[in-house]
Amino acid sequence: MQSLNVTINIPSDLVVVPKKEYEELLIAVDKSPKWWTMEDLEEKLQRERKWIIKHLIKDNVIGQHIATMTLFPPPGGHYRFDAKRLNKFIDENFDLIKERLE
| Structural domain includes residue 13 | no
Q: How far is CA 36 from the centre of its chain?
A: 10
pLDDT given at position 60: 92
Buried-exposed string 54-75: b where 16+ CB fall within 10 A, e elsewhere: ebbbebeebeebbeebbeeeee
| Structural domain includes residue 9 | no
Calpha distance 91→21 (Å, rounded): 25
The model's pTM: 0.65
Give the confidence band of 87 by pLDDT, cuts at 50, 70, 90.
very high
Calpha distance 102→97 (Å, rounded): 9
Report the domain count for the chain.
Answer: 1
| Structural domain includes residue 75 | yes
- Summarize pLDDT for 13-69 with one digit per residue, the tens: 999 999 999 888 887 766 667 899 999 999 989 999 999 999 999 999 999 999 999
pLDDT given at position 93: 92
| Structural domain includes residue 66 | yes
pLDDT given at position 27: 78
| Structural domain includes residue 11 | no
| Structural domain includes residue 14 | no
| Structural domain includes residue 41 | yes
| Structural domain includes residue 1 | no
Range of the structural domain that residue 40 is part of: 35-101
